[in-house]
Amino acid sequence: MILCRLMTTLLFASATDDAADWAAPLKEGMPGLDFRVWPDIGDPADIDYALVWKPEPGLLASLPRLKAIFSLGAGVDALLADPTLPDDVPLVRMVDRGLTEGMTEWVCTHVLAWHRQTAAYREQQAARLWRPLPEKLARERRIGILGLGELGRDAARMLAALRFDVAGWSRTPKEIPGVLCLHGPEGLDALLARSELLVCLLPLTPATEGILNAELFAKLPRGAWLINAARGRHLVEADLLAAIRSGQIAGATLDVFTTEPLPADHPFWSDPRIVISPHVASPTLARSAAARVIEGIRRAEAGEALQHVVDRRRGY
Ligand code: NDP
Ligand code: OXD
């Protein structure tokens, strides 16, 4: 843990993250930190920094001396949706090795489960059926990854290390050893045409909302599998159900949903071809990520450039 001796005030506001998990490593690394937890904020003019996940709309605008906003999550779509978000205060998204490793583990788990047909063997086990299914090697499987940022890049590298035939897609050109890197609209069609399994790790922006739709599914090889670990609103849920019914998509592994928690009467729950996890692909862990926040505050106080500042025009 880095040690930073500054005296400063941080407001923590999250409905889902536990403030106690963050208080300990932040105070250990910054003994002079005045750590306040929403809604007990005291005088709003005391607050120098905010560490937040889906704070109440208007909260950040009510802090007159705010110097930077640190997002507890990698995705900042919810923060940018607050029309009162102060536009003169830098917004820093979460980039942390633990977050990246967690996502890569989750993606590889579900890619390997699909590849080695674990669901089919569980079904056969339930029926006491001993029946070997045709198997392939990873190098005979083509994986496509939408998004080659902090998370997509690491997952692509790891899948390539497992010997999958991996391609990835981004807005701007990339070079990743062992991964076919495509970009732009033509790159997307080329990626889809070769992807037996498609993983979405894009940020949610006006350009990517609803990208996982009927038109995109039709460009995948018939019987492809979809994995979405990015945001629920990337997916047009009715289009996925229709594509699964028609056999164009064999099934999907979904960690994120338009409405979270997924409502009890949602058709996804009862479809055996859909694998659901409750937005746990990669939670931000305080014991790993607190150091990123301390480093951000240190940089801000030293007048150094902040890292991972969101480009609000791009939306990520
Ligand atoms: P980054 O900003 O690092 O990477 C985003 C990638 O998407 C970049 O490669 C970018 O291209 C590409 N991209 C963005 N817009 C477009 C577009 N219009 N066309 C093509 N490519 C595009 O994000 P992260 O990798 O850190 O995170 C990705 C998302 O994962 C987060 O926004 C969040 O929604 C989700 N997430 C989900 C978690 C979970 O537990 N389910 C946990 C953490 C994150 P370029 O490089 O050219 O800019
Ligand atoms: C994130 C998330 O964006 O957990 O970090 O969804």
Q: CA dist 167 to 50, 58, 104, 185, Å?
A: 37, 41, 15, 15
Rounded to two decimals, what is the model's pTM? 0.97
Question: Residue 94 has which token pair?
Answer: 């979460």
Residue 233 gets which letter from DSSP? G
Question: Residue 49 has which token pair?
Answer: 């920094």
Spatial distance between the Cα atoms of 189 and 312, rounded to a whole number of angstroms: 27
User: Does the CB atom of residue 33 touch ligand 2 within 6 A?
Assistant: no
Atom in ligand 1 nearest the alpha carbon of residue 148: 9
User: Does the CB atom of residue 284 touch ligand 2 within 6 A?
Assistant: yes
Tell me which residue of 236, 166, 226 sits closest to 199, measured CA to CA. Answer: 226
The alpha carbon of 102 and the centre of ligand 1 are apart by a number of angstroms equal to 15
Tell me which residue of 260, 225, 240, 299 sits closest to 73, measured CA to CA. Answer: 260
Residue 60 gets which letter from DSSP? G
Contact status, residue 203 vs residue 91, Cβ threshold 8 Å:
no
Spatial distance between the Cα atoms of 237 and 299, rounded to a whole number of angstroms: 42
User: Does the CB atom of residue 234 touch ligand 1 within 6 A?
Assistant: no
Within 13 Å, how many C-alpha atoms sit on residue 137's CB side?
Answer: 5
Atom in ligand 2 nearest the alpha carbon of residue 72: 5
Q: pLDDT in tens for each of the 316 residues of the chain?
A: 667 777 899 999 998 999 999 999 999 999 999 999 999 999 999 999 999 999 999 999 999 999 999 999 999 999 999 999 999 999 999 999 999 999 999 999 999 999 999 999 999 999 999 999 999 999 999 999 999 999 999 999 999 999 999 999 999 999 999 999 999 999 999 999 999 999 999 999 999 999 999 999 999 999 999 999 999 999 999 999 999 999 999 999 999 999 999 999 999 999 999 999 999 999 999 999 999 999 999 999 999 999 999 999 999 9
